[in-house]
């Protein structure tokens, strides 16, 4: 990944968007289990990053910096979504809830559902490590915590993910997803 960006350069930010947006979007999809919310948060994160682009320091990878903004945005979204859910439950108190859409339910992956059920900080550590290929130091820089904390989060997240997928865990990917060539984050 080229990291020769100049802070404040519009052309460099456009380049960063082209490279990082799909990856950030996938991270947020794993965190939020909602494509529309993931797109909204990813766009918001890039807007926020664009306004702070002149203050970006090249000592950290630009994509990790955007990831940090995006994960924080997803955490805020999840928090407000919880409040909205509580308000919706109170509003519909006494009335039966509408049944879920079967087509949407069939298209969803149990793995992504399990990731979305994890706390966002744990899910972000899993995705950055096992999908984007960051090492602990890069995850620590992206999330703004220590490497020791990242190790703890990875262990907790792996354990909780295994427990959630224990009945249905299998090697086969669901047919709804067509495996593409994985975008590996080759750093070292």
Partner 1 sequence: MSKTDHDALDPLLEARLRAELSAVRPPSSPPRYTTAAAPIRAWRFAPVALAIAFTGILALTAFAATGSPNPAVWTNRVETVINPPSPTPSSQSEPAESESPVAPTAVPAHRPPAPPTEGPEPTGSPEHESPEPTDDHESPNPSPSPANSASDDH
> Which residues here bind partner 1, judged by CB under 8 A?
13, 17, 21-22, 25-26, 29-30, 35, 39, 42-44, 46-47, 49-51, 109, 111-112, 115, 126-127, 129-131, 133, 135-136, 151, 154-155, 157-159, 161-162, 165, 169, 171, 173-174, 177-188
Residue closer to partner 1 by CB (options 88, 113) is 113
Tally of helices (H runs) and strands (E runs) in the chain: 8, 0
CB of residue 91 to partner 1, shortest distance in Å: 30
Name every residue whose Cβ is closer than 8 Å to that of residue 105 and which is 6 or more positions away in sequence.
none
Cβ nearer to partner 1, comparing 35 with 144: 35
Q: What Cα–Cα distance (Å) separates residue 96 from each residue in 33, 67, 82, 103, 184?
A: 24, 39, 19, 21, 46
- For residue 26, give both structure tokens: 């996938």
Other C-beta atoms closer than 10 Å to the C-beta of 178 total 6
Least gap, CB of 12 to partner 1 (angstroms): 13
For residue 151, which of 129, 166, 180, 176 has the smallest C-alpha distance? 129
Residue closer to partner 1 (CB basis): 83 or 172: 172
Q: Which is nearer to partner 1, 36 or 97 (CB)?
A: 36
């Amino acid at each position: 990944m080229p990291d020769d960006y100049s802070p404040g350069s519009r052309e460099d930010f456009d380049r960063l968007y082209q490279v990082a947006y799909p990856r950030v979007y996938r991270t947020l999809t794993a965190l939020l289990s909602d494509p529309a919310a993931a797109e909204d948060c990813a766009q918001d994160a890039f807007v926020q990053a664009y306004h702070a682009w002149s203050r970006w320091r090249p000592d950290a990878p630009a994509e990790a910096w955007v990831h940090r903004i995006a994960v924080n945005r997803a955490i805020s979204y999840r928090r407000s979504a919880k409040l909205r859910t509580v308000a919706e439950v109170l509003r519909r108190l006494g009335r039966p809830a509408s049944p879920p859409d079967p087509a949407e339910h069939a298209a969803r992956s149990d793995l992504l559902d399990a990731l979305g059920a994890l706390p966002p900080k744990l899910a972000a550590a899993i995705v950055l490590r096992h999908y984007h290929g960051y090492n602990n130091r890069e995850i620590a820089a992206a999330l703004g915590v220590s490497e020791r904390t990242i190790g703890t989060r990875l262990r907790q997240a792996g354990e909780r993910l295994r427990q959630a997928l224990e009945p249905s865990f299998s090697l086969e990917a669901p047919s709804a997803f067509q495996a593409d060539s994985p975008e590996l984050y080759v750093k070292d």
